[in-house]
Amino acid sequence: MKLLLCLSVLFSCTFCSAYSPVSKDEIIEHKRLLRHAVEELTPYPTGVYEGKGVVVCAGGVTYLLHAWVHLNRLRQVGCALPAELWYYGEEEICPDFIEAFAEIDVECRDLKKMYPGLERGYVLKPFAIAASKFEEVILLDADNHPLHDPTFLFESPEYLQNGAIFWPDLHVLTDHNPIWFVTDLSPLGELSSAQESGQLVINKKQCWGPLQIVLHMNTNHHFYYKFLHGDKDTFQFSWRVLNAPFFMIPYYPGLSTTYFMKQSKSFLQRSIDGTPLFHHVSMYKDKSVSRHYCIHDTFYWLDEPYTFFVISRMPLDKDKCVFPDGTVSKKGYTPSVYSFYDHYPEAMREGANFLEKILLNEGIEQWINNHSP
């Protein structure tokens, strides 16, 4: 009766434009498959994983160059953790790139050899976590650039208590999103923050059950991605299905852009105490490739200082705030102004130097030219 009532509500509502249509039969079938996956959970494999490390997925010109800057930056801010870069198939990387990454203690591994039937894209991230040799993982998107060494997250009480740290996205999941019905969970209303998976901290031993459910959802991504944005919320809902604990950072991401553009293209994710920790380039990736590659946009290749304004939605300090040009922010949003040129000038200079270094490698430059659009 509960399922029939939920389905009645679901199909009588108007879906958000971000949803793709799902049928009643699909929901019933995947609800059954999810229940079966929960019943078939296997114990944590002893002796397979060990240690702590960073995991990044990247392949192809755009993401490899971002990953190169990001991982060099990780070393520059003092992170000594070993790292793995996972690509999918030999055509996604060249031997010169693999050698270059090895020089900064990054092991390049082919996920296709372990999971040959996957599709490229978001789905690779949870499988890279599972395949990684590390027992404790910080996963970072290839275009997610660290502002500080994130190693301390492994020692935080929030991580040690829960075994997982997640970050919120900018929007809230509606009560009518099909995910609530598939997972048989009650909507949380205004507390239903979507998740952003550009950074994750996971103890696989402590969270082996939820991780298996994540793999199940992403194996069935043709269904789940119809109403979830890629892999993002498959993490928190896998934890919720098993009533497993996780810590969600209590700060919404800050939207960042140049003051002159007044259009958000990337965002900041914050640490446990609210300080900026990651700059996620996100929509700022330029698909073209040249000597002045995409990262000249506003973060690295700067001739003059740009000011980023950052809009935070939690915690709320004021009802409104006025920008330097007199524009009043929306009620409930609290802008803070950051100048990356003033606060992180070394990041810009280093980013440019990292790119120059890799582009001077003749083998890599030739591979890039052969694989550019």
22-43 pLDDT per residue, tens = 888 999 999 999 999 999 999 9
**Are 144 and 80 members of one domain?**
yes
Domain limit, last residue, from 248, 272, 289:
248
- pLDDT of 18 reads 53
Q: Are strands 164-172 and 247-248 parallel, antiparallel or unpaired?
A: parallel
d(CA 220, CA 218): 5
Q: Which residues constitute the domain of residue 191?
A: 52-248
Residue 22 lies in a domain: no
CATH number (domain holding residue 237): 3.90.550.10
Domain limit, last residue, from 248, 270, 300:
248
**Are 232 and 262 members of one domain?**
no
d(CA 130, CA 114): 10
146-181 pLDDT per residue, tens = 889 999 999 999 999 999 999 998 778 888 889 999
- pLDDT of 351 reads 63
- The number of domains in the chain is 2
Residue 8 lies in a domain: no
Instruction: List, edge to edge, every strand of the sheet that includes 254-256.
Output: 144-146, 276-280, 266-270, 254-256, 308-312, 334-338
Domain limit, last residue, from 214, 248, 282:
248
- The distance in angstroms from the start CA to the end CA of the chain is 53
Low-confidence ranges of the chain (pLDDT < 50): 1-17, 258-264, 284-345
85-97 pLDDT per residue, tens = 999 999 999 999 9
**Are 224 and 263 members of one domain?**
no
- pLDDT of 256 reads 59
